[in-house]
Structure 1
Amino acid sequence: MNYAGRRTWPDKSKSWEYLGAAESIEDFALRFATDCSLDANTEFVVIEKAGAESDIQFFKVSRVAPYALMPAEPRVEGTQSAGQAPPPQLTSSHDIRKTLLANARFYLKVCFTAVAFFVSAAWLMHIFGLTK
């Protein structure tokens, strides 16, 4: 059978970058990963070039020495493969400063609230004569 393969993540190829024949789609996928020296966790798709009833499978490189593959889910733009939103990434020093400033404001609000509570409790106890 003839097959074609291309990377889908982290780099997304717009065209089929590897063509060839193999006995099975798994054999072709393993040869594609090996010949192109794909890194671990690289995801790619392989399609059987047999017309309208073509078999399509997604793979992920799970090990590189020696190469091993595992099935993968197709990725949808903007989300991870399991349908979950990706974790937020702090990409610039501005984002990091904003996060640190937000954390500092929260800490100060908590401290101010605690101090205000104890001061008002002491003042009320003094007003009602509960202190000696």
Structure 2
Amino acid sequence: MKYTARRTWPEKSKSWEYLGESESLEEFALAFATDKALEVDTEFVVIEKAGAESEIEFFKVTRTSPYGLVTAAPRVESEGSSTDNATTKDEQSSNDGGDDNYGGVEAIAGAWRGVISNILMFVKAGGAAFLFFLAAIFLAKWLFNAW
């Protein structure tokens, strides 16, 4: 089976760090911890790459020589730490230029600003062309006495 893994705590990885095949989820988790030389109390998630019915399992490193793992519950942040974490995430994403979901609302607002500015540019160009056409007709009528 194919699996992929990434760290979730203490530092959260933004992309999947490890991809490979193994006989079981636990073997793959042990191979990930060993290859990445994870420290004690590092938590990570392993997902089976099997489509909609994929298994998800969280693990925590308990010892490093030899590596020992236990299954862990996903970390849920408390109210107080989520606001602190949100401010650091905002500061980090402003430094990085974005986050995993490519900007969210800001990206959609930017796309709409681009669409509206393009519409306005076409209206301005069309208006200028129409005024040029009217000026040409006026000049043809009054200067050359056409029509």
Smaller-chain TM-score bracket? 0.5 to 0.7
Q: What's the C-alpha RMSD, in Å, of the aligned pairs?
A: 1.5
TM-score under structure 1 length normalisation = 0.59
TM-score with structure 2 setting the length = 0.53
Q: 1:14 offset after TM fit, Å? A: 1.0
Report the counterpart of residue 6 of structure 1 in structure 2.
Answer: 6
Amino acid at match of 1:38: L
| Alignment match, 2:29 | 29
Identify the residue that residue 65 of structure 1 maps to in structure 2.
65
Amino-acid identity (%): 65
Cα distance in 1 for partners of 2:73, 2:15 equals 19
Whole-angstrom distance in 1 between the partners of 2:80 and 2:63: 26
| Unaligned runs of at least 5 residues, structure 1 | 87-132
Aligned with 1:52: secondary structure? Answer: helix
Q: 1:55 to 1:38 in 2, by over 3 A?
A: same
Unaligned ranges ≥5, structure 2: 82-147
Supply the AA of the counterpart residue of 1:75. Answer: R
1:27-106 to structure 2, matched below 5 A, reads 27-76=27-76, 78-79=77-78
| Cα-to-partner distance string for 1:93-123 (whole Å, 9 max, x where unaligned) | xxxxxxxxxxxxxxxxxxxxxxxxxxxxxxx
Q: Which has the higher helix share?
A: 2
Q: How many residues are treated as equivalent by the alignment? A: 81
After TM superposition, the runs of 4+ consecutive aligned structure 1 residues lying more than 4 A away are: none
